[in-house]
Amino acid sequence: MLKPWYDLCDPEFKAGWKILLLAFFGIFTSAGVVPIYSFGSYAVLMQSTLNVTMGEIQRCITFTLLGGAVGNQSVGWLSARYGLRSVVLMSLLLLSTLYAVLAMIPLRTDLLYLFYFLFPVLGCGTLHLCWNQLVGNWFLRHRGMALAIILSGTGVCSMTLPLVLSVVFHYVSWQSGFYVLCAITLAVFLCSCRWLVVIKESAPLTGRNSIGNEGGVEYKQALKMRHFWVLIVALTLSICSILVMITNLVPILVGKGLSSSNAAFAYTMFGGSLLCSRLLTGYLVDRIWAPLVAFVALMVPSIGCFILMLDISSYGWLCLAAIFLGVGAGAEYDIASYIVSRYFGLTHYMKIFGTMMGVITVCLCVTPVAFGCLLDSSGSYTPIVMIAMGLLALGAVLFLFLGPYPDNESRLQPLGVMDRLDTPSR
C-alpha cells in the first residue's frame, strides 16, 4: 500500500526532484493548459466588455486548439535546431509578454482570437512535450510515476487558477488577471534559468543507458511503424470521446434530473478521480505492460457512458458515472506520454509525439462541431453518449494491438542514475 510513496525516496527521485518540481509548474503554466482552464473565468466578462455573443467568445478555444496543433508540430524541430533549454526559456518569455500586452491594450474580438492562437504557437516550448522530454531524460525505472506527477499540474491548475483569478477580478479588474498569468509564467522562467542549467550539466540519463540514446528510432522510421498509426487512431478516438463527455457532462446530469449544484458536485468528483487516476496510472505503467493499463483505464469511462445511457436518475449512480469518466480523463495523456517513450525512445520523442498530438488536436477542433450538429438534429444527448461509449471501447481495444515493447528495451538497465548520482551541480 505504501510502496508508491516509498518509491519517491528512490535515488532517481532524490537526484531529479528539481526537474520534477520545475516540470510540474511548467505544466501548471503551460500554454496548452492556462488558456483553457482560465477561459471559464474570463468568458462572461469578455462577452459583456466586447458586447458579442457567447458563441463568438467560445471561438477562442478553437483558435487555441489550432495554435496547439501548430505548436506541437514545430517545437520538436525547434528543439532539435536550437536546443530544448533555449526553446523553453524563449517560449516562457514570449508567453509572459503576450499576457502582459493583453492586459494593457484595448481588446477587440479579432485581437482576442489572434492572442489565443499565438499562446501555444509562441509558447510552444511550454507545452507538455517539452516537460515530458525533460522528465523522460531523468527517469527510467519510475518514468511513469514521474510523468504522472508532473501531469497532475493540469488538475491543480484547473482547481486553483479560477479561484485566484476570481479574487483579482473582484478587487482589481478582469483584464488585470492577465498580469497574474504573466507573473506566474515569469516565475517559472526564473526557475528554469537556474535549474535547466543544472539539468544540462548533470542530467543522469544522458549516457549509454538512456532510452533516448540507445532505444530511439528516427522520425521518418517512426512514421512507417505500425505502432505509430495504431497509437494515433487509438488516442484520437479516446481523447475526442472524453472531450465530448467532459464538455457535456453537467448538461447531461441536469437532464437526468440533478440540480445544478448536485451536478457541479458530481463534476468535482470527476476532477478528484482524474487526479487519482493519473497518479495510479503512472505507478502501474512502471510495473505492468502499459497498453494493458490503457485498455482497462479507457474501458472504465466506457462503462460510465453506459450508466449515463440507462434510464436512471439516482444521484449515486450518476456520480459513479462521473468518477468513471474522470478515470479515463486522468489516464489518457499520462499513458500516451509513457507509451511513446517506450516504443519510440527519446531521441526524436518531441517530433514523433508532436506529430501525433498535432493530428489529434485537429480532430479535437472538428469534434465539438460534429457532435454539436448531432445534438441539434437529435435533440437528445443519448446518441452522443452512445457513440462516445463505442469509440472509447474501440480505442481501448486498439491499444492491445501494439504488441510487446521493442527488443532494445530489455537490454536497458537503470544504471544511468546510479552511475552519476555524485555528479556535482554547478
Query: Tell me: the pLDDT tens digits for 34-84?
Result: 888 787 677 777 877 888 876 677 778 888 888 988 888 888 888 888 888
Our measurement of the distance from residue 152's CA atom to the centroid of its chain's CA atoms, rounded to an integer in Å, reads 9
* Residue 208 CB-density burial (10 A; 0-12 exposed, 13-18 middle, 19+ buried): exposed
Cell matching residue 418: 546510479
Asked whether 102 and 121 are in contact (CB, 8 A), the reply is no
φ, ψ of residue 206 to 5 degrees: the values are -100, 5
What contacts 170, CB < 8 A, 6 or more positions away? none
Lowest-confidence region among 218-227, 313-322, 405-414: 405-414
Q: What 3-state class would DSSP assign to 147?
A: helix
Higher pLDDT, 410 or 171: 171
- Cα–Cα distance measured from residue 295 to residue 37, given in angstroms and rounded to the nearest whole number: 28
Asked whether 231 and 340 are in contact (CB, 8 A), the reply is yes
The amino acid present at 316, given as its one-letter code, is: G
pLDDT single digits (tens) 237-281 = 998 888 888 777 877 888 888 877 777 777 778 778 888 888 888
- The stretches of 83-142 forming alpha helices (DSSP H) are 84-104, 109-122, 128-138
Asked whether 228 and 340 are in contact (CB, 8 A), the reply is no
Give the CA diameter of the chain.
Answer: 65
Residue 415: the pLDDT is 30
Q: What 3-state class would DSSP assign to 346?
A: coil
Q: How confident is the model at residue 422 (pLDDT cuts 50, 70, 90)?
A: very low
- Cβ count near 192 (within 10 Å): 23
- Cβ count near 385 (within 10 Å): 22
Residue 266: the pLDDT is 79
Our measurement of the distance from residue 81's CA atom to the centroid of its chain's CA atoms, rounded to an integer in Å, reads 25
Q: How confident is the model at residue 15 (pLDDT cuts 50, 70, 90)?
A: confident
Q: How confident is the model at residue 10 (pLDDT cuts 50, 70, 90)?
A: low
Pick among 1.10.1050.10, 2.130.10.10, 1.20.1250.20, 3.10.150.10: CATH of 216-405: 1.20.1250.20
**Alpha-carbon distances, residue 335 vs 192, 256, 286 (angstroms):** 26, 32, 11
pTM: 0.72
**What percent of the chain shows pLDDT beyond 70?**
87
Asked whether 337 and 284 are in contact (CB, 8 A), the reply is no
Q: How confident is the model at residue 214 (pLDDT cuts 50, 70, 90)?
A: very low
Sign of the dihedral through C-alpha 245, 251, 252, 254: positive
- Cα–Cα distance measured from residue 132 to residue 152, given in angstroms and rounded to the nearest whole number: 12
Asked whether 239 and 332 are in contact (CB, 8 A), the reply is yes
Asked whether 290 and 338 are in contact (CB, 8 A), the reply is yes
Higher pLDDT, 397 or 199: 397
Please state the rounded mean pLDDT for residues 130-140. 82
Cell matching residue 290: 502499459
- The stretches of 379-411 forming alpha helices (DSSP H) are 382-399
Residue 190: the pLDDT is 93
Higher pLDDT, 148 or 238: 238
Residue 156: the pLDDT is 81
Sketch the domain layout of the chain as residue ranges: 1-212, 216-405
- Cα–Cα distance measured from residue 30 to residue 150, given in angstroms and rounded to the nearest whole number: 11
Range 1-212: architecture per CATH: Up-down Bundle (1.20)
Residue 64: the pLDDT is 87
- Cα–Cα distance measured from residue 172 to residue 334, given in angstroms and rounded to the nearest whole number: 37
Q: How confident is the model at residue 200 (pLDDT cuts 50, 70, 90)?
A: very low
Q: How confident is the model at residue 186 (pLDDT cuts 50, 70, 90)?
A: very high
Give the CA count within 13 Å in the CB-facing half-sphere of 234: 26
pLDDT single digits (tens) 337-387 = 889 888 888 788 888 888 888 888 888 777 777 877 787 787 778 888 899
